[in-house]
A and B are shown apart, each in its own frame.
Chain A
């Protein structure tokens, strides 16, 4: 009963999202694309976080996907749409190869290594002048779909849908149990016969693939990239902040956070042309201080208070956020 309700709500939401271009202008669609891109990155980052591994390499895989896609089109004459799949594959393969080395690392050392890898990708693209265009980047002769606002929106929505789908699968399959077990107590997870490395590798490769795909979608939508655009540290830090502000270890939390920060930044910019980023920073501080479990954590708390005991919801794993406070 409860599950069916969730499905209906999701279907309605999806229908509304798909129909957006029918009643929204080019500007809201453009903002929506930006929000959806960050949303997909935030959700994909959270998927790996569910195993306890904190990646600082989102921008690295995003940028890698951007370059793989644009260079495949420009140097290899690939179809733009196909190049998105190709870029996702490249990001996945790179993650697969790197995973063998870096997934043995834990905590901060894993984070730093992913950050360093991002910088290495950036420096390589920066220095391969003839192949990657060097610091000035590369420009496509034409944007995908001729720049049609609705088509670009649907493309981005498609990327987001794939990401959310993967995240839901992570939440509902035995992957979730395995990843949660690894996060909570690696030693006992191992003694229970969980192949930790295998699950970490799956999570790392899948999330990297998704991040590479979003990079490719972004680059095809704007038709150009430079090392500083593709590997912008904001593609790492903002998804992190969004996931945290929304509530981690869930699909819906990072989504809520992306909507909050994405729309806040655009709205503030129009209201306060000079100095809007000050308010943006203050919002982040305030949310962290007063909603330590994020928007979704707060909502969950309110529901629990209102509804007594509450139920182990299908899409939420209630106790996760509080666990960190142990």
Chain B
């Protein structure tokens, strides 16, 4: 309940702020929303894993990187568009996620959660370094005309392509919401996430649910990896910064609150770009992210105590 009220409050505040910003500097909102879409679409799969399997996956960004390389190789060798490669790549990363889950993560589920954290840390290092050996640190990028699609309004020209990430994030949030509340498998997954032992007692196969959710999350990450190469170059550490960013966003939204991730992303994306619009403050744009996270987490804890 508290979560829901908070979300609506945040949304209302954003709407008010948006009108003011739009009038003053439209690009703040445009670039802010575009950034938010990218943040959210990559963070949602991590939120899914954290909410149901209860694992902080430090190799999150590395799955993204693997998908990006897979897409790059496919597109380069067949000369196809990343959006055509999206389906096969998603299937491959889902398979990879499932195998990784079965071979490693599953073995550590009974151990303290820190073990899973360090396990995925080791997985992340290995994946990055293998990519570095295979492809070197030199970056790779395919260019596509549609990435530079733009709109002119008077003097103002801005790129519109990056809105696809906002679309992807929205689709993901809506799709997952439908899946987790309307389907039997989804409801079972939620039950496992809330209480694995209780779920097992009522006959839900917890291990299979974990494996499935993990594979589904890596499939979504794979999809984002394929989309990422349209806007970004590919290199071994391309995914790494997204791990921490996603983790922070998920924590800010609160574990299990998937729509909240989108809200948190929009708040952060727009505030960052707002700071960037002031010349002297540009270097401080990064700090917004972390100050907001601490404020939200502390605020929630104080309110939680009162309630």
Contact = CB atoms under 8 A, between A and B. Distances in A.
B114 A240 contact: yes
Q: Most chain-A CB neighbours within 10 Å: which of B113, B115, B119, B123?
A: B115
Say what secondary structure dominates the interface of chain B: helix
Contacts of B130: 278
A288 interface: yes
Given A105-B298, A285-B104, A244 B122 contact: no
Interface stretch (A64-72, A119-127, A187-195): A119-127
B22 interface: no
B301 A105 contact: yes
B108 interface: yes
B297 A325 contact: no
B248 A116 contact: yes
Interface in A221-267: 237, 240-241, 244-245, 248
A282 interface: yes
A289 B129 contact: no
Contacts of B111: 288, 292-293, 324-325
Contacts of B200: none
A284 B108 contact: no
B133 interface: yes
B283 A113 contact: no
B112 interface: yes
A24 interface: no
B297 A113 contact: yes
Interface string B256-294: 000000000000000000000000000110110111011
Contacts of A102: 294, 298
Say what secondary structure dominates the interface of chain A: helix
A101 B298 contact: yes
Contacts of B182: none
B118 A241 contact: yes
B286 A112 contact: no
A5 interface: no
Nearest to B131: A278
A187 to B, nearest CB: 15
Contact of A127 (B110, B244, B283): B283
Contacts of A281: 122-127, 129
B124 A112 contact: no
Contacts of A108: 56, 251, 255
B201 to A, nearest CB: 17
Given A116-B248, A289-B104, A240 B287 contact: no
A245 B114 CA distance: 11
14 contacts: A119-B286, A120-B290, A123-B290, A124-B287, A241-B118, A244-B118, A275-B132, A275-B133, A277-B132, A278-B126, A278-B129, A280-B129, A289-B108, A324-B114
Closest 5 CB pairs of A and B: A324-B112, A284-B122, A281-B125, A281-B126, A116-B290
Interface of B: 56, 104, 107-108, 110-115, 117-119, 121-130, 132-133, 244, 247-248, 251, 255, 283-284, 286-287, 289-291, 293-294, 297-298, 301-302, 305
